[in-house]
């Protein structure tokens, strides 16, 4: 049987405000016009993603149990400890002594931690000893550009 847990490792982040200009066009898979009048006001992407700065911590994901949810091995996830924990949200949980990132679901009157992967990971029942540390507030990923 496959090990059901993905490993998440906390990372230290120094917060430096950096604003970027965004194109005022919404595109599905295109490239915005280079004309300056298509630009919106600058935003700080980290501040946009992080709603509760003092309650948000960043972790690096290790594993593929959430690849169908768009969270990949090596991604950084912002975990908001003040975010509303509810079924359907991806949560960071301490389950049987292991940290794991899973989707919180409710079935048959019980809460479960479930993978979203092409591999078959068994669902983990939320126990009295399971601690939910927060919800995923955002994901950061880099792609090669060279």
For 2-33, the pLDDT digits (tens) are: 444 556 767 766 666 665 555 454 555 655 55
57-109 tens-digit pLDDT? 999 999 999 999 999 999 999 999 999 999 999 999 999 999 999 999 999 99
Residue 1 has pLDDT above 50, yes or no: no
> Which residue segments constitute the domains of the chain, with CATH numbers given?
7-12+52-140 (2.10.109.10)
What amino acid positions are annotated as catalytic residues?
65, 102
Structure tokens at 130: 């399971």
Whole-angstrom distance, CA of residue 49 vs CA of residue 40: 17
Output the pLDDT for position 91.
97
Say what the pTM is.
0.76
Output the pLDDT for position 48.
86
Helix (H) or strand (E) holding 49: helix 45-49
């Amino acid at each position: 049987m496959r090990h059901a847990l993905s490993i998440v490792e906390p990372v230290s982040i120094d917060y430096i405000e950096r604003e970027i200009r965004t194109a005022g066009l919404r595109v599905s898979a295109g490239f915005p016009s280079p004309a300056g009048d298509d630009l919106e006001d600058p935003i700080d992407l980290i501040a946009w993603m992080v709603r509760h700065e003092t309650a948000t911590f960043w972790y690096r994901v290790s594993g593929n149990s959430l690849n169908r949810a768009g969270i990949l091995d090596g991604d950084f996830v912002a975990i908001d400890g003040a975010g509303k924990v509810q079924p359907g949200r991806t949560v960071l949980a301490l389950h049987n002594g292991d940290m794991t990132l899973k989707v919180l679901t409710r079935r048959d009157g019980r809460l479960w931690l479930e993978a979203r992967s092409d591999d078959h990971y068994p669902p983990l029942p939320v126990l009295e000893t399971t601690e939910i540390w927060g919800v995923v507030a955002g994901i950061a990923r880099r792609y090669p550009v060279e």
